[in-house]
Amino acid sequence: MKKLQNCQVLHVALCAIVLLLLMPSAFAKKSVGGNGKGCVDCHQKTTPGIVGQWKLSRHSGVGVSCLDCHGSTKERPDAFMHEGTLIATIVTPKDCATCHEQESTEFQNSHHADAGKILGSLDNVLAEVVEGHVTYDENGNKLKGSAVAISGCLQCHGSEIKVLGPGKLDPETWPNTGMGRLNPDGSKGSCSACHLRHDFSIAQARMPENCGRCHMGPDHPQIEIYNESKHGIAFAANRTRFAKGMEKQDWIPGKHYEQGPTCASCHMGATKTLKRTHDVGKRISWTLRPPVSEKIDEAAKKFGHKDIVPWEKRRDDMKDVCQSCHSKGWVSNWYIQYDNMVNLYNDKFGKPATELYKMLNAKSLITPDTTFDEKIDFTYYFLWHHEGRRARHGAAMMGPDYTQWHGMYEVAHRFYDEFIPELRHLISKGKDEGGDKKSAAKEVEAKMNEILNSDMHRWYLGKSSEKEKAARKKASEDFKKRYAQ
């Protein structure tokens, strides 16, 4: 009897050991600590910079070791034996999720995590065809990617990482810490797009420059806009004073700091009532990216997302951030100014230019399958992708120069001085060609004339109403009187 009991105990113990061995790596990784001493000792010599960064981190303080993040399982395609231990160089959101599940889930559900899915986009035609060159085998598989996509687009958006062999990652796809990276373990994204290794400092993640690595330049100059806004100015003026507070877990506007919100404050950070979020789209109501802006939940539906948060709720959350520092009336008035600007861009330029450009393609007055082989392709692209976005982004984040001179001025110039004259040229070319082209050209011409004769554009044809002309003349005389002396 006793023998049997002993045997059962032994059996149970053996089972437990077997079970433990079979447990997914998640379990092993939860045990903060791990056995990373060997890694640290040797890497202190081979890569002292990395060990130095890790020693500064909160992770090292709480015993999160090299192995906790780099430890791997056989199943992972990128795992390899390294000094007697199975590891992977790539550390994916799934790895971080063993300890930071909430941040990872929010991130996976965000538009950020989808940033790698740009292959079919119009912009990608630029990188792969117009600027660069891709080679294919006879089955249509890519032999060689475009160098400009690899060093450009994909560094911000994320590559699809390919494993060539044990410990060997394809240099066409790695190094890369783009936002929506497609990882060998099937997960999307890279946490180190924002969290620089290996100190993983929360203060660094909150700095505006962190977002500015990608959110910059002629087509989405958020960092430039922020820097010229009063919010950016206030942050710059108080940066040194804020530095210590920014290292703490809680950094709440109106409580721990009173001015100079950063990108992270408005789009991610906690307030007295809101929790922090790793879904950066949670507080924006419009998408300002497409040729014509729409409410962000409409756009999300087209992406096939489920459980979509309505735009009104998102706007309320952003207002909650603003109202940590501002009064309600200030904020709601500001939203009216912002909405009016988006609607003006949409109605006056975005919609008409898009409608006319689509007609040109549908009616084959330009080559419909090839973009960027004709002048008007570039003209239209500049109008919405660069200038039209800048105007909208400037209004969204209080950068008036981007709304006006880098924005609507450029849009108007592009529309009246390039788009319309090029359109007229294509119309007359179509008419000359005769047949189907002639009737197509006439249809486009009728649409163009309808648009130009509408309220917003008729000034261009010299057809402003008499009332309007008189009002403008009076304003001009008043101006001269004021500034003449």
Q: Which is nearer to ligand HEC, 156 or 365 (CB)?
A: 156
Burial class (CB in 10 A: 0-12, 13-18, 19+), 308: middle
* Residue positions counted in the chain: 485
| Residue choice 79, 150, 163, 179 for contact with ligand HEC (CB under 6 A) | 179
The residues in 420-459 that bind ligand HEC, with binding defined as CB under 6 A, are none
Compute the least distance from the CB of residue 342 to ligand HEC, in Å.
8
Q: Least CB distance from residue 95 to ligand HEC, whole Å?
A: 6
Of the two residues 266 and 360, which places its CB atom closer to ligand HEC in the complex? 266
CA dihedral sign, ordered 57, 59, 63, 69: negative
Distance CA 403, CA 388 (A): 9
335, 289 contact by CB (below 8 A): no
Q: First CA to last CA across the chain, in angstroms?
A: 115
Specify the residue, 158 or 430, whose C-beta has the smaller distance to ligand HEC.
158
Tokens of 23: 């447990």
Amino acid 331 reads V
Tokens 């009532």 locate to 273
CA distances to 65, 230, 245, 280, 441 from 445, rounded to whole Å, are 68, 45, 61, 43, 6
State the minimum distance, in angstroms, from the CB of residue 139 to ligand HEC: 24
Cis peptide before 175 (omega within 30 of 0): yes
Report the distance separating Cα 406 and Cα 429, nearest Å: 33
CB atoms within 10 A of CB 174: 19
How big is the CA angle at 94 (ends 91 and 96), to the nearest 5 degrees? 65
Which residue number, 130 or 452, has a Cβ lying nearer to ligand HEC?
130
Q: How far is the CB of 272 from ligand HEC (least distance, A)?
A: 11
The set of residues, in sequence order, having a beta carbon less than 8 Å from that of 260 and lying 6+ positions away, is 231, 232, 233, 234, 235, 236, 237, 238, 239, 242
- List the x/- string, 266-285, binding to ligand HEC by CB under 6 A: xxxxx-----x-x-xx--xx
The amino acid occupying position 364 is S
* 315 near ligand HEC, judged by CB under 6 A: yes
Among 25, 51, 349, 352, binds ligand HEC (CB under 6 A): 51
Of the residues 288, 376, 423, 427, which one makes contact with ligand HEC according to CB under 6 A: 288
CA distance 190 to 232: 27
Give the position of tokens 């599940």. 101
Per-residue binding letters, 181-220, with ligand HEC (x by CB under 6 A): ---------xxxxxx-xx-xxx--xx-x-xxxxxx-x--x
For ligand HEC, the closer CB: 173 or 222? 222
Q: Which member of 72, 76, 112, 381 binds ligand HEC (CB under 6 A)?
A: 112
Q: Please pick, from the candidates 25, 72, 95, 408, the single residue that binds ligand HEC as defined by CB under 6 A.
A: 95
* Residues 216-275 interacting with ligand HEC (rule: CB under 6 A): 217, 220, 222-223, 226, 230-231, 234, 249, 251, 253, 257, 259, 261-270
CA distance 98 to 37: 21
Region near ligand HEC per CB under 6 A, out of 97-105, 372-380, 423-431, 443-451: 97-105
Identify which of residues 348 and 393 has a Cβ nearer to ligand HEC in the complex. Answer: 393
Site for ligand HEC in 316-375 (CB under 6 A): 318, 321-322, 324-326, 331, 334
Please give the C-alpha separations between residue 115 and each of 154, 160, 177, 288, in angstroms, as whole numbers: 9, 11, 12, 16
Which residue reads 């592009």 in tokens? 414
- Give 271 or 441: the residue with its C-beta nearer to ligand HEC: 271
In the list 127, 150, 163, 441, the residue contacting ligand HEC (rule: CB under 6 A) is 127
Contact 170, 182 (CB under 8 A): no
Name residues contacting ligand HEC, limited to 136-155 (CB under 6 A).
Answer: 152-153
Which residue's CB atom is positioned nearest to ligand HEC?
A: 281
Binding status of residue 111 toward ligand HEC by CB under 6 A: yes
Please, what's the b/e burial string for 459-470 (b: 16 or more CB within 10 A of its CB; e: otherwise)?
eeeeeeeeeeee
**Cβ-based neighbour number of residue 290 at 10 Å:** 15
Binding pattern to ligand HEC, positions 65-84, x when CB under 6 A? -xxxxx-----------xx-
Binding residues for ligand HEC, how many (CB under 6 A)? 122
Residue 77 or 167 having the CB closest to ligand HEC: 167
Which residue's CB is nearer to ligand HEC, number 263 or number 426?
A: 263
Smallest gap from Cβ 23 to ligand HEC, in A, equals 15
Q: How far is CA 269 from CA 231, 281, 332, in A?
A: 15, 13, 21
Cβ distance to ligand HEC smaller for residue 191 or 444: 191
Q: CB of 354: closest distance to ligand HEC in angstroms?
A: 15
292 lies in the site for ligand HEC, by CB under 6 A: no
C-alpha to C-alpha distance for 39 and 18, rounded to whole angstroms: 27
CB nearer ligand HEC, residue 121 or residue 370: 121
